[in-house]
Amino acid sequence: MELTTGFWRFKVLAAGVELGLFTLLERLGEAGAERIGSELGLRPRPARMLLACCTALELLEREHLGAGEALYRNSRTATEFLVEGRPHYFGGFVRYSDRYGYPGWDRLTEALRTDRPTTWDPDAQESAFVTADPAILEGFWGAMFTLSSFTAAALAEAYDFTRHERLLDVGGGAGAFPVGLCRRYPHLRATVLDLPQVAAMAGAKAVELGMTDVIEARGGDFLRDAELPGGHDVILLSMILHDWDAETGQRLLEKCYSALPPGGAVVICELVLDDDESGPASAALMGLNMLVETRSGNNWTYTEYADRLSEAGFGPMQVLPLHAAGANAALVAHKPG
């Protein structure tokens, strides 16, 4: 029953975000059902149902006043992640998932039978991002910055970057990893490499945070460019290799090897599948999401990563467990020398 009705929970969250429920309660502090319904344009019956669900899912807290009256306020989770304008606002990813991911997963059987993405048309588009609503995309990238910030914090504790001087974040989006790692390791300097329009966001974020002296944003295409920028002794691939087939990923690892000096390291952050492909569920489901979202992506096993790193020329792979929504492991390998 929980598997069958899992989408109910997501749609409650998505509706709360879309209606602005959590941002409203941040402004009001606390309010009764009648006031909330009036502010959101909801009649009493659906307002009561929505508030009950959000309370049951621990997105809201309810204070019973007696005689059927109650006050509602945001939970700590909602306050941190679901209030627009707050640093860790995650509603952009909720909206993106509701608008694009959810309809794509509704056609999962079609994706399984055709081996084609269902969130976009691969015959007419380069990716789902080509025709996506720019406002939704802006929120999506903001939410990805939040997600990656937490993963970066976990990586900073699991791997010692004091041995490195310059980091290259390949496909680094808005630069969450360089921001987090350079703050944790003040000696570190970083370059974000991504498509020009995405690299511009990383550059703007560096300006916003006053980190232009330690973070450089560079536009490029790590798939089509013949080589990666040199001058870095550690290269990060976070949630990158799962976007592509094995051959494309292998070529990228070979580019990493060529760009690194002897002794340099590549760090792969991913939701990695167990070798027997029995879990964890987060990695297995993300792999299936790659079917829905990409032409050829997959989430790979530890052995597959170790074999590909070895084939690219790297030494033995070290596994560092991570406890983060964006990755369950950092896989580290060094260029011999």
Q: Active-site positions?
A: 242
CA nearest to 78, candidates 65, 92, 68, 90: 90
CA nearest to 180, candidates 73, 269, 254, 77: 269
- CA 117, CA 16: separation in Å to the nearest integer? 28
- Indicate if the alpha-carbon torsion angle 81, 14, 177, 285 is positive or negative: positive
- CA 306, CA 117: separation in Å to the nearest integer? 28
